[in-house]
């Protein structure tokens, strides 16, 4: 009977720890109608302390970026600050969004950022 109790405890502990580890998250960045202008998208997932936990840069030939950029990082279910850098033929645009990743799909619409003018402090 004691061994059955240990087995049950072990299974419960394993199930709990399994929910706390990194999981594949599904992040979709919507570039919209401005997608043909985009040559690169950089993503940085920042933790609560501001540390970069995951980072990627996706590059595209002019005119070939998809309307929706998909990224599937391995991260824990939690809140993150997402730094998005969008390079276009006219310059770089940057935006930060607060996101909660929880195992489903998270969509971030940056279409208006893509078609806006780059900030004067950023190189063209």
Per the domain annotation, does 14 fall within a domain? no
Q: The CATH number of the domain where 28 resides is what?
A: 2.60.40.10
**Average pLDDT of the residues in 20-30:** 91
pLDDT over 70, % of the chain: 79
Q: Could you tell me if residue 12 is inside a domain? A: no
Q: Is residue 88, in this structure, part of any structural domain at all?
A: yes
Contact 110, 31 (CB under 8 A): yes
- Geometric angle at alpha carbon 94, from 83 and 53, rounded to 5°: 15
Question: How confident is residue 7, by pLDDT bands cut at 50, 70 and 90?
Answer: low
pLDDT at 16 (0 to 100): 53
Residue 82: Cβ-neighbour burial (10 angstroms; 0-12, 13-18, 19+): buried
> How many domains would you assign to the chain?
1
pTM, 2 dp: 0.78
Assigned domain for 119 exists: no
Residue 8, pLDDT above cutoff 60: no
Summary mean pLDDT of the chain: 86
Cβ atoms within 10 Å, residue 34: 20
Structure confidence at residue 70 (pLDDT): 97
Kindly state whether residue 19 falls inside one of the protein's structural domains. no
Pairwise CA distance, residues 38 & 49, whole Å: 30
Domain containing residue 78: 24-114
Does residue 11 carry a pLDDT above 90? no
Is 4 within a domain?
no
Q: Are 118 and 92 in contact (CB under 8 A)?
A: yes
Is residue 11, in this structure, part of any structural domain at all?
Answer: no
Phi and psi of 9, rounded to 5°? -60, -45
109 in a domain, yes or no?
A: yes
């Amino acid at each position: 009977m004691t061994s059955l109790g240990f087995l049950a405890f072990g299974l419960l502990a394993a199930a709990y720890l399994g929910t706390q580890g990194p999981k594949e998250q599904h992040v979709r960045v919507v570039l919209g109608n401005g997608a043909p202008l985009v040559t690169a998208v950089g993503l940085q997932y920042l933790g609560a302390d501001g540390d970069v936990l995951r980072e990627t840069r996706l590059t595209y030939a002019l005119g070939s970026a998809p309307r929706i950029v998909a990224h599937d990082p391995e991260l824990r279910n939690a809140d993150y600050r997402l730094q998005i850098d969008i390079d276009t033929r006219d310059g770089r645009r940057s935006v930060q969004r607060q996101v909660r990743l929880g195992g489903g799909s998270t969509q971030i619409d940056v279409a208006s950022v893509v078609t806006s003018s780059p900030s004067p402090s950023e190189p063209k």
